[in-house]
Amino acid sequence: MSAHEVQPTVDHLLEVKHLTTRFYTEDGVVHAVSDVSYILNEGDTLGVVGESGCGKSVHALSIMRLIPIPPGKIEAGEVIFRGRDLLKLSDDEMRHVRGAQIAMIFQDPMTSLNPVLTVGFQITEALQLHQGMNNKEAKERAAELLALVGIPEAHQRLDDYPHQFSGGMRQRAMIAMALSCNPMILIADEPTTSLDVTIQAQIIDLVKRLRDSLGMAVIWITHDLGVVAGLAQRVNVMYAGSIVESGPVKEIYVNPHHPYTVGLLGSLPRPDEAHGTQLFSVRGEPPDLVGVLKGCPFAPRCDYVTEHCHHEMPPLEAVEPRHRVACWERERVRRPQ
């Protein structure tokens, strides 16, 4: 089964088909997301990994229709959410989806909270807007939500301003806001990158518990393969705007078939390695996405490269039933032991 003949869309919660987003800048056209297709089912947790500039955030913003237009433009594709194409909705209809049915949390909790409004006001705003609650009900619910995400003395903290919260607490408040309307999908864009590891462990633990108790689907965007290993069932590896490998986490971490995934996994120190082991590094730098890319974008950094790679972009094709890889040489690619 290839990406292009996805099964009929009966039960899928979210289906992204051929999503392509570009930015028209003074320096040229930036091909931020190219032909991204995947499926998300109810209760699934999908990890999206890749390095800076690989399009993982832009793809999420495209789903939420939060791309600034211009300079951005969603060129092609469909985002089918419960049978409706989000890209075809009017702005007004989209506002009822965004925040209410699909919620998003961002990397930097300081810049995504308004510093001059109290945390309580920012949470109740969404409740009043989407759920038509009155002020008192909304406050009650907001306190409940803050307690749910583990903020002590939630009632008093509603009147605090964001600067009175620590980094971890701000991210908890963001999660409380995102959960306020019982969304079916939570998109988390590097929510723990700016936090310390012990706080990161708290947040991941919280999201796991909430996911299991509320039955949300989660799309977790990160550059940290360790976080994905502990949280997600499936993973999409992105490089230069495309998905290069996609499948179950357990399958991909053991048996990666794209040279980039192999490189990423190899560049992390392993807990059981001997002292003095050299890390396996991917040479070179990620490509500039301005202008049309010809062939496989990973070709200049790839150890398996052939003539074919420079001319034609490999399609995302299955190596195992649910494991898809975009590489001409996928049969040869192995993780070094």
Partner 1 sequence: MTAQRRDEVLLQVQNLKKYFPIRRGVFQRHVGDVKAVDGVSFDVYRGETLGLVGESGCGKTTTGRTIIRLYEPTEGHVYFEDVDLAKVHGNQLRQMRRKMQMIFQDPYASLSPRMNVLGIVGEPLEVHRVASGKQRKDRVAELLELVGLDTGFMNRYPHEFSGGQRQRIGLARSLALNPDLIICDEPISALDVSIQAQVVNLMEDLQEKLGLTYIFIAHDLSMVRHISDRVAVMYLGKIVELTDRTTLYSNPLHPYTQALLSAVPVPDPFVEEKRQRIILEGDLPSPANPPLGCHFNTRCPVVIDVCFEVEPEFIKIEEGHFCACHLVQPFERPEGRVRLRLEEQTVQKT
* Identity of the residue numbered 67: I
CB contact set of 138 (below 8 Å; sequence gap of 6+): 123, 124, 127, 128, 131
241 in contact with partner 1 (CB under 8 A): no
Are 154 and 119 spatial neighbours (Cβ–Cβ below 8 Å)? Answer: no
Query: Taking the complex as a whole, how short is the minimal distance between the CB of residue 173 and partner 1, in angstroms?
Result: 14
Min separation Cβ 52 and partner 1, Å: 6
State the Cα angle at 326 between 323 and 332, rounded to 5°.
Answer: 85
The backbone region for 171, taken as left when phi is positive above 0, alpha when psi lies in -120 to 50, beta otherwise, is: alpha
Q: Does 250 bind partner 1 (CB under 8 A)?
A: yes
Q: How far is CA 41 from CA 5, 10, 88, 327, in A?
A: 17, 11, 21, 26
Question: Interface with partner 1 includes 321 (CB under 8 A)?
Answer: no
Using CB under 8 A as the binding criterion, the count of chain residues that bind partner 1 stands at: 45
Among residues 69 and 254, whose Cβ is nearest to partner 1? 254
| Closest to partner 1 by CB, 121 or 253 | 253
Of 79, 97, 264, 326, the residue at the interface with partner 1 (CB under 8 A) is 264
Binding test (CB under 8 A) with partner 1, winner from 267, 303, 306, 321: 267
The Cα–Cα gap between 326 and 237 comes to 10
Q: Long-range contacts made by residues 130-139, C-beta under 8 angstroms, separation at least 24? A: 130/96, 130/99, 130/100, 130/180, 130/181, 131/100, 131/181
Nearer to partner 1, 72 or 168 (CB): 168
41, 43, 125, 280: which one contacts partner 1 (CB under 8 A)?
A: 280
Q: Which of 11, 70, 136, 281 binds partner 1 (CB under 8 A)?
A: 281
Asked if residue 191 lies in contact with residue 108, where contact means CB atoms within 8 angstroms, the answer is no
Task: For the CB of residue 88, give the shortest distance to partner 1 in the complex, in Å.
Answer: 35
User: Per-residue contact track with partner 1, 49 to 68, x per CB under 8 A?
Assistant: --xx----------------
Point out which span in 56-64, 128-136, 181-189, 202-210 binds partner 1 (CB under 8 A). 202-210
Token match 């190219």: residue?
34
For residue 243, count other CB atoms closer than 10 A to its CB: 29
- As a three-state string, the secondary structure of 193-241 is CCCCHHHHHHHHHHHHHHHHHHCCEEEEEECCHHHHHHHCCEEEEEECC
Shortest Å, Cβ 49 to partner 1: 9
Establish if 225 lies at the interface with partner 1 (CB under 8 A).
yes
Cα separation, 295 vs 107, in Å, equals: 32
Strands (DSSP E) contained in the chain are: 14-25, 28-40, 45-49, 72-81, 84-85, 102-105, 185-189, 217-222, 234-239, 242-248, 317-320, 323-325
The correct pick among 8, 271, 307, 337 for binding partner 1 (CB under 8 A) is 271
If one asks whether residue 148 binds partner 1 (CB under 8 A), the answer comes out as no
Interface segment toward partner 1; rule CB under 8 A; list 1-9, 70-78, 118-126, 224-232: 224-232
Shortest Å distance, C-beta 297 to partner 1: 14
How near is the Cβ of 38 to partner 1 at its closest, in Å? 19
Q: Please identify which residue in 28, 71, 215, 230 interacts with partner 1, judged by CB under 8 A.
A: 230
Nearer Cβ to partner 1 (180/192): 192
| 166 counts as binding partner 1 under rule CB under 8 A | yes
Q: Is there binding between residue 110 and partner 1 (CB under 8 A)? A: no
Residue 70: cis peptide before it, omega within 30 degrees of 0 = yes
Q: Which residues bind partner 1 (CB under 8 A)?
A: 51-52, 166, 168-169, 196-202, 204-205, 223-227, 229-230, 249-250, 253-254, 263-271, 273, 275, 277-283, 285-286
